[in-house]
Amino acid sequence: DAMVIQNPRYQVTQFGKPVTLSCSQTLNHNVMYWYQQKSSQAPKLLFHYYDKDFNNEADTPDNFQSRRPNTSFCFLDIRSPGLGDAAMYLCATSRTSGSYNEQFFGPGTRLTVL
């Protein structure tokens, strides 16, 4: 089945220790998104890529970086995680960035910062 895969599902890191989260998709979608979601809150868009064009949300901290080496893979790097970065990180894809922008989500990576 075509899908969005995220690894790992659960990640524990120490305060200040860099961490990388990965996302891959077999849907061949042009657009990939990274969201941060904290408990009982709306998903917060961090970045999105249209093909290789990178779009950084204005309020995404510099501590968060992203890479998309090819259509299938996308990575989220957190350079120096703080306690406030503990959250669920969701990767999503969509076929286009135009209207009817249905997004398909991976299962998420739950990040714990000790």
Compute the least distance from the CB of residue 93 to other proteins, in Å.
12
Q: How far apart are CA 30 and CA 66, in angstroms?
A: 16
3 neighbors 26 (Cβ within 8 angstroms) = yes
105 neighbors 23 (Cβ within 8 angstroms) = no
| Token duo for residue 93 | 């894809």
User: Per rule CB under 8 A, is residue 103 in the interface with other proteins?
Assistant: yes
- Residue in 13, 75, 86, 110 binding other proteins, rule: CB under 8 A: 110
Question: Between 81 and 108, whose beta carbon lies closer to other proteins?
Answer: 108
User: Per rule CB under 8 A, is residue 99 in the interface with other proteins?
Assistant: yes
User: Per rule CB under 8 A, is residue 14 in the interface with other proteins?
Assistant: no
Question: Between 4 and 78, whose beta carbon lies closer to other proteins?
Answer: 4
- Residue in 70, 104, 111, 114 binding other proteins, rule: CB under 8 A: 104
Closest by Cα among 109, 32, 40 to 78: 109
